[in-house]
Each structure stands twice: as C-alpha cells, then as structure tokens.
Structure 1
C-alpha cells in the first residue's frame, strides 16, 4: 500500500539522522548515550505527529494511554539535547526520498514567500532579535520568520530557512535556497516570486544555476527595477531588455547592450566585488498585461517566449497564490499557531516537524484516487481530515494497529469551488500567539 511506503520513507529519513545522532546532539558524546523511554527516533516521530493539545495529552495519545508513557518533564529533558538541525535533516532527507515518487516533468514550479510565526517566550530564553512590541506599548511577544520554497504542483515545501524576525533577509534566504536546490534529471526549476523577490542578485543566482525565474515587479511608471528602460507606454507588451551591471564609477566601463546600472555598496550582488572593474550582463523579458480592476501587472522573466507567451506567464504567476493558502493550512490545520515551548530552538524544532507533517499529508492526498461521478462539482480530499488521519497513522508502531489511510481519505471529500472569490481581509499588523491555557483539551 502507498501509505506504508510513505511511512517507510519517513522512518528511513529518521534512521539516517539517528544513526549519526552525535552530529545533532547539543553535547556530543554525552547526550543520547543512555537508554531512555524517549530515544531520538521516538522523540522525532513524536514531534512530527503531535497535534495542538497540551504536551501531556499528546504524550498520552502517542503512547496509546499506556502507563509506560514518559512524563512531560522527561520529554523536555530529551528535546533539550536535540538540535533543531536534526528535524531539518529529516525534512530534507524525506523530501529527497519522496521526490522521485512523482512522475518526471519538464518544469518544476517553485513559489517563494515568507511567513511569520508568533510565540511566547522570556528575555532569558530569546534574544531581542525575536522580540516585537505592539506599537508604542512595552508589551509584546516573539516572532520567527519562515522563508520557504513551495512546489505548486506537488503541493509540498521544497526547502525552508528560519530567521529571527529582526534578522529577516528574504533576498539572502532565496539565494541560498536556489543555490542548494535539488532537481530531478531533465527537469528545470521555475522560481516564482512577488515584488519582494525581484532583484538583480536573485535573477543572477537563478541564471547561474541554469534555471528560470518569474518575478512580479513595480509597474513601468515607478522608480523600480524596470523604471529606467525605454518601454512602450501601452497596457500590454512583451519585450526583451538588457542591462549591464557595474560596481565601479569608472567611465571606462560601458554597456555593450542596453544600459548601464551601478550597484552601490549596501546593495547585495554576489557576482561582482564592489569597486572592481568587472561587469555582469543580464537579459530578460518584461511582460505587462491589464487586470480586471483596470490596473496593469508587470512581470520580469527569463522564460523562453516561444513556450511561455504572455497569457501563460499570467497563469503561472496567478498559481503563486498556492503558497499563500499553504501557510494558512500550516498554521491553523497542521498546528503552527499552537507551539508547545518558549525557547527559540524548540520553536525551530516544531516548525521543521510541522513542515514535514504537511508534506506527508499532501503526498498522501496527491496519491489518493478519487472516483469520478456525475455530480455538479468535482471533489477533493478535505485537508483538515487528511492531516488528522496522517498524524494518527504516523503514531502507530505495529502492523496489527495499521489503518487503511487511502480508504479513509477517499471518504473525506469536499466540493471544489474555484469560482468563488473573496476580497483580501486587512488584518492587524500584530497577531498575538495563542496562550497555552486555550489549547484543545
């Protein structure tokens, strides 16, 4: 059965990390050297499969209400020995094992975006880099920022980088993820980003890796990245432009094609040292098209025009919304609005664990065959129910306790209503974390 295969891949990823547990122990050679009720493999499995109830209740559920269940104190002592990098390594190893399960495609569409997670802590546990005050008030809480790459067709997270909110650098995180991104043979990655990701440095990193980018940018009448090009003042156009990047004011540096753009010292550009006489030439398309509200969207991309005309560019950028909806599922269904700790390193453990739980759930959904019937709407699997089923399945340790995950998922269906559109709500800038006492019983 497919669900057993996924569980086997998960256990294999956990085993690959626990075999070298000293690399992920806070005190190598001392931590995880004695037999405990919570060895590293069970500790990692528990973190991935736990829900939003209190830690004590989650432990009881994981141990099936047996009297051998470890205490909350024992759990906290064990997790204090484990670096967050252990969960990160399991996440990456599982992704690497699961990626070949999907049929090969010519392109892989990866959306880049970020989201912030609020948690409670104390100054003795977390540095000021995490602390956010509410307006002019001295009261506040702590934030962790997640930078992610999301596979829009597989509906899984391909990579992520965690940063304290005041050390947030989405440009650098994006470049690091592009440089280390794994891809299948014969498949090209297409990186899709909103205006916050449109920069010459990001473009250059994608080009150097032999891949493609598609970024939204400010419109042609602004002072943004495309503001200095000689562009037609039309609602819709698709043209190729060239810019020569320099980091020296020397007049000897001239643009062979297009125009010359100076990159100052504070601006990141990793392929020319500031003050050097080197140049870097970039060519890309600028695609502009009108929207229903009367405004115009502007996209920069290096995708080939013959295969990706303007209408397809518009559709691809529209699909980027998938990462936005994934953040909602990650927070409110998988459980990243309900942390079980105060320390930033424990918060990182739980974020990596929930990213892995999300991917396992979506892979199960993707491989569940739904019987098509003559109904008004097409149907899809309800993600909320699927997340709960997969969480319980990961907790089971013996074959006799096994459940038929795929059959259960087929019963949890909801109609697809893609035609529905709602205005985007304007939420408050500060979103407080949920208090521990308000968790589900």
Structure 2
C-alpha cells in the first residue's frame, strides 16, 4: 500500500503538481490537513491522492469516476505493482471523506496566492478590481438534494432538478474566483453578496450590476475601506436636476436612509446605518447596434473626479461583462453547470473543487502571460486546459531537467493563440441547430412507465 501511494504521489506531483506548484504546493495541502486535524487510515486513497484525482477528474472532458479510477490503475500498472479494483466505490467513499472545510481553505488559499502575484502595473488607477455576480447550478434529482436545494416551485414533483444559487466574486485582473457562497434557488443576489464582503481587502473596488445597488451595501462596502461601482437600481428614478453637477452627466447626490428596515437587514444593522450618504451618479447612453441596454446610470462611492474621471469609470463598468464570461468558463467550459454528486455536502465539495481547478488554470494563464508579455486575460482558458491535459502524460514520464523544459514549452504554447479583443461585438440571440422534437416531461417517470406497461 505504501509503495502504491508513493507512486501515485510522484505521478501527480510531476503532472499537476509542477504547473500548480506555486498556487497549490503539496506542503500547503498537508499544512491545511494538519490544521484541521484530519485523521485518516493508511489506504490507497488518502486525502492528498483523492484531492489530486478529483482535480484531474473535473479538468478532464470525461468526468466519470470510472475514468478517474482508470487513470489511477494505468499509473500503477506502468510501475508493475498490484493494481486496485476497477470498482469506483473506494474512490467515491474517499471523496466523501474530504471535509468541506478542507476544500474551502484550499480554494481560499489558491485565490490569495494568485492575488499576491498582481503588481501595481496591472492595477486600475492604483486599485484592485473585484467583480461580483450570481448564477445557478443543477444537480441530480435525489431526495437529499431536493430537501436542501429544492427545485423551482413552478415545476411538478418528479419533473425538475434541484438547483442551488451561487454567488461568486472574481478578480478582474487575474480572472480568479476569490469568494464563493452557496444557497437555495430563491435567495436574492444581494443576500449572497453580504456573506462575501468579508473577502474584500482594503482599497478594493467592487463592480456589480443593479441587483447589488442598495443603500446599506454602499455604506458597508465603504466602511471596509473599499469602494463600489454598481448600476443604479431600477426602483430609483433617474434625474439630473438634483445633486451637485461635477461634469457632463456626472454629479454628486445625497441618498437618505430608508424609512423602514429592508427585509435583508436585521434591526441592529438597520439602526447602525447613517441618516444619509453621498454617492456619485454617472448617466450615459449606449448607441451600439444590437445592445439591449441603451441608457445606463452608474452609482459609485468614487467621489474624486480628478482621480477617477467619468470616462475611466464608464470604461471600468464596461468590463463588468467579464464576470459573465468567467461564469461561462466555469459552468460551460469546465462543465460545472450540471453537477454529478448525490448528496448536498458532496455537491458543495464538487463546486469548490471546480473553482479550485478553475483558479489553477488561471494561475497557469497568468504565468504564461507574464512570462511572455501577453495580457493573461486575453488567453484562452479552454486552450490552456487542452494544452495542460496533453502535456500531463509527458510530464509524468520525464526526468527533472526535461520536465522543466516541457513546462516552459507549455507556457510558451499557451500564449500562441490570443483571444481577439472584439469590442461592441453583437450577435442575434437565436440558435440555428434545431432540438429534437421530444415533448417535455410533465409527469414523474414512474407514472409514465406504468402508462407504457398498461398501454
């Protein structure tokens, strides 16, 4: 058993461990395991092997546990030692033994490690920009999942899938996910956001859409020594007649504390709010053909027009769309849109592993971009994953000197194809490929099977 574990550790450290050595070194994983006082028996799937196998699984296009176990068997068969069973139960049980807190800490560690690589030359007006947004993920229709993450109330029982709401904060500079919150479907985005404000660091600027633009949030973000740039909520009327004009379509306005406590705040939190705050409102038009939005009103706590000009802030908000692309990378490119695990705790672990794998790819893109003077955010995440998966078998079998050369070649190849910058690109929101003409499921499958049997 000890020999097989050592072989697998060497294989994973040579393949996944080398590209991600700075962001997720083996010593950091062992340190977190020690801090959490995780005790485990001497078995093939210890926490380190299980974690690396899990990461390899979500990075692969074939995400089945059978494929993950098959890789482990292939690693061991090459060294002519006893191979484990092809049954996936041992690996699945090992994944279930991974504590949620372990994955949370490793995810936070990866985000912090990548953020520390950012130098002042990449900052916006000397500030680090974070972007926030919410999304949903679907999961298998099991009793446990339905109980904790119920399906939409508009769907009949047995005809839908459990859905979880996730809130994520991304770094605009590195593209990495720096904070995560998971809740039920009908949770408002702003409730998720308030659980993630603690991940903001002083001097950060938080960028978001109109869902996050609330009186209490503008105050609380400023209280953290951070600033916010949000689109104005539709419930607030837009007029240029009130406020202090400081530029074309740019003014300082006073917001007053709501008369009654909003639903998302406790009475103590509401009482702690000041009677008024001063914010900056920027109003502009979008005249690009194909854009649904034609009028935009921004609210920000960046009040100094000399340091943060109107055009700088308008241009910054134009980059908010990057968060949509980051979520698409995680859900579509990596495949997190539909989760595979059967229990709520494993779903949360799976989400954290996906975000950890995503951050590891972002770190590889950052290393490649900064090494070869290419903007890291202009590199292809899908291309990076393809190159990594194709280089992994070569990295596993190479000696130490050749492995370093292969790693440098990997970084060089990643920057070969830069994603073109296509501002103001617009496409019709239609699909060409027709779906199959099957009707929707309107009854539980058991009832439909009985109808087929009695027909």
TM-score after normalising by structure 2: 0.75
Write the distance in 2 (CA, Å) between the matches of 1:240 and 1:269.
29
Partner in structure 1 of residue 383 of structure 2: 385
Partner in structure 2 of residue 283 of structure 1: 278
- Residue deviations 1:387-415 (CA, integer Å, cap 9, x gap): 24446778977873846234124224335
- Residue deviations 1:108-141 (CA, integer Å, cap 9, x gap): 1101001111111311454153323664675000
Relative to structure 1, the CA distance from residue 95 to residue 228 in structure 2 (aligned partners, 3 Å threshold; closer, same or farther) is: same
Partner in structure 2 of residue 140 of structure 1: 160
Residue 191 (structure 1) shift: 0.2
Residue 159 of structure 1: SS of its match in structure 2? strand
- Residue segments in structure 1 that go unaligned for 5+ positions in a row: 24-31, 246-260, 433-441
Partner in structure 2 of residue 249 of structure 1: none
CA contact (8 A) 2:378 2:421 kept: no
Choose from 210, 216, 221 the match for 1:195: 210
Write the distance in 1 (CA, Å) between the matches of 2:115 and 2:398.
26
Relative to structure 1, the CA distance from residue 381 to residue 125 in structure 2 (aligned partners, 3 Å threshold; closer, same or farther) is: closer
Write the distance in 2 (CA, Å) between the matches of 1:426 and 1:14.
45
Relative to structure 1, the CA distance from residue 279 to residue 333 in structure 2 (aligned partners, 3 Å threshold; closer, same or farther) is: closer
Taking only aligned residues, the RMSD between alpha carbons, in angstroms, comes to 3.7
Choose from 158, 175, 199 the match for 2:194: 175
Greater fraction of residues in strand: 1
- Residue deviations 1:188-228 (CA, integer Å, cap 9, x gap): 1000010111111211111110111000014xxx6427679
Which of 196-205 and 172-181 deviates more? Answer: 172-181
Write the distance in 1 (CA, Å) between the matches of 2:373 and 2:194.
42
Residue 140 of structure 1: SS of its match in structure 2? coil
Which of 401-410 and 87-96 deviates more? Answer: 401-410
Write the distance in 2 (CA, Å) between the matches of 1:125 and 1:99.
34
Residue 97 of structure 2: SS of its match in structure 1? coil
Q: Give the 5 Å matches for 1:219-230.
A: 223-224=235-236, 230=242
Choose from 136, 139, 149 the match for 1:119: 139
Write the distance in 2 (CA, Å) between the matches of 1:101 and 1:209.
23
- Residue deviations 1:150-178 (CA, integer Å, cap 9, x gap): 11111111111111223x24223212222
Relative to structure 1, the CA distance from residue 182 to residue 232 in structure 2 (aligned partners, 3 Å threshold; closer, same or farther) is: closer
Partner in structure 2 of residue 58 of structure 1: 68
Partner in structure 2 of residue 296 of structure 1: 295
Relative to structure 1, the CA distance from residue 273 to residue 318 in structure 2 (aligned partners, 3 Å threshold; closer, same or farther) is: closer
Residue 81 (structure 1) shift: 2.1
Residue 93 (structure 1) shift: 1.7
Partner in structure 2 of residue 317 of structure 1: 317
Choose from 54, 66, 81 the match for 1:47: 54
- Residue segments in structure 2 that go unaligned for 5+ positions in a row: 1-13, 78-82, 442-455
TM-score after normalising by structure 1: 0.77
Residue 337 (structure 1) shift: 3.2
Choose from 88, 94, 107 the match for 1:78: 94
Choose from 414, 417, 423 the match for 2:427: 423
CA contact (8 A) 1:60 1:69 kept: no
Which of 223-232 and 302-311 deviates more? Answer: 223-232
Residue 372 (structure 1) shift: 8.2
Write the distance in 2 (CA, Å) between the matches of 1:20 and 1:286.
47
Write the distance in 2 (CA, Å) between the matches of 1:58 and 1:329.
22
Relative to structure 1, the CA distance from residue 169 to residue 158 in structure 2 (aligned partners, 3 Å threshold; closer, same or farther) is: same
